[in-house]
């Protein structure tokens, strides 16, 4: 069997691809994703102008994940638009990712990508690591203003990359906006922001930016990511697809997101630490699990979480 799936009507050859962030800044890095078993190419979250990002050290591997405060290092949206024709040669969907530093930035970038050959656009409302910039998705008035400006700029599917919501009321408010503005897919979750990891021997944080505060990723945040996927699965119509991200390093992790309701998963920390071989490994393991459990397809297992 295969793990073929689709996001917003876009066919994917497998259930697994990369999350925006790790190993996707340059064309050379994006080509390696194209050459890998990732079912799509998710580009780096880009801004209007190029950014170097935050000061080093800004990433640290941890026993069960990572902490980082990269600060959106990227080449600027115009450079990523130039890369799309090259990336399309890999015969897999290409997703843009945009992260405005102000409300006015989002429509400029979304309009430009709508006029490109990209397949879909993920709008990042949840980067926790920009100094002095709050996460837009925690402000529902600001989120509504952004979505109003970008929702009618073209026909390519729009998705939202959301932060961790730890309150049902937050998820309900965002679900209303998602339905109101015609969002086609939702990615849950971005790294868990403003976490602190301390090196007890050195008596200091393990990363430098923001006095050591950064986004936590990997297995540490999987329960939070699963909960967000499940709640949005229950709150949204089934034609709005969910992409799970957060702590996926094995086929078992991917299967749990499938049970929660995710139509696909993105891999971040595991990709950063293990490289592109992780995509094939996770998908192969998922195939074995589905086969052993006698599920004939991804859709036959999606959302089939059994409650106690």
Task: Select which of 46, 127, 188, 278 is catalytic.
Answer: 127
CA triple 160-255-222, angle to 5 deg: 55
300 token code pair? 């036959």
Q: Running DSSP on this structure, what letter comes out for residue 6?
A: E
Q: Which of 143, 237, 136, 124 is nearest to 188 (CA)?
A: 124
In the annotation, is 127 catalytic? Answer: yes
Residue that is written with structure tokens 């290092």 in the block: 73
Residue that is written with structure tokens 């393991």 in the block: 285
Helices (H) and strands (E) in the chain, counts: 10, 16
267 token code pair? 């891999």
| Helix/strand/coil for 255 | helix
How far apart are the C-alpha atoms of 235 and 308, rounded to whole Å? 20
Beta bridge partners of 198: 205
289: which residues sit within 8 A by CB, 6+ positions away? Answer: 251, 252, 255
303 token code pair? 């959302």
How far apart are the C-alpha atoms of 179 and 174, rounded to whole Å? 9
- How far the first Cα of the chain sits from its last, in Å, is 30
How far apart are the C-alpha atoms of 173 and 302, rounded to whole Å? 24
Identify the H or E element spanning 290: helix 277-292
How far apart are the C-alpha atoms of 156 and 153, rounded to whole Å? 9
Q: Can you say how many angstroms the Cα of residue 308 is from the centroid of all Cα atoms in its chain?
A: 30
Give catalytic residues, as residue numbers.
127
């Amino acid at each position: 069997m295969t793990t073929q799936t689709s996001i917003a009507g876009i066919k994917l050859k497998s259930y697994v691809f990369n999350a925006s962030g790790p190993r996707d800044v340059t064309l050379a890095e994006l080509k390696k994703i194209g050459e890998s078993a990732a079912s799509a190419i998710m580009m780096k979250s880009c801004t209007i102008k190029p950014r170097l990002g935050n000061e080093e050290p800004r990433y640290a591997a941890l026993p069960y994940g990572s902490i980082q405060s990269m600060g959106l290092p990227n080449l600027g949206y115009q450079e990523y638009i130039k890369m799309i024709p090259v990336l399309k040669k890999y015969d897999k969907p290409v997703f843009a990712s945009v992260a405005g530093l102000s409300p006015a930035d989002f429509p400029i970038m979304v309009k430009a990508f709508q006029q490109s050959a990209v397949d879909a656009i993920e709008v990042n409302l949840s980067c926790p690591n920009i100094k002095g910039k709050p996460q837009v998705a925690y402000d529902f008035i600001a989120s509504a203003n952004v979505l109003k400006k970008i929702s009618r700029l073209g026909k390519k599917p729009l998705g939202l990359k959301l932060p961790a919501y730890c309150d049902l009321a937050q998820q309900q408010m965002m679900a209303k906006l998602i339905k109101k503005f015609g969002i086609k897919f939702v990615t849950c979750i971005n790294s868990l922001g403003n976490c602190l990891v301390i090196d007890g021997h050195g008596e200091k944080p393990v990363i430098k930016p923001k006095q050591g505060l950064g986004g936590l990723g990997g297995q540490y945040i999987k329960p939070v990511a699963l909960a967000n996927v499940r709640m949005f699965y229950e709150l949204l119509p089934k034609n709005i697809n969910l992409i799970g991200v957060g702590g996926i390093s094995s086929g078992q992790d991917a299967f749990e997101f499938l049970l929660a309701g995710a139509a696909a998963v993105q891999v971040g920390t595991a990709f950063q630490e293990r490289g592109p071989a992780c995509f094939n490994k996770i998908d192969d393991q998922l195939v074995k699990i589905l086969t052993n459990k006698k599920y004939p397809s991804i859709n036959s297992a999606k959302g089939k979480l059994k409650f106690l």
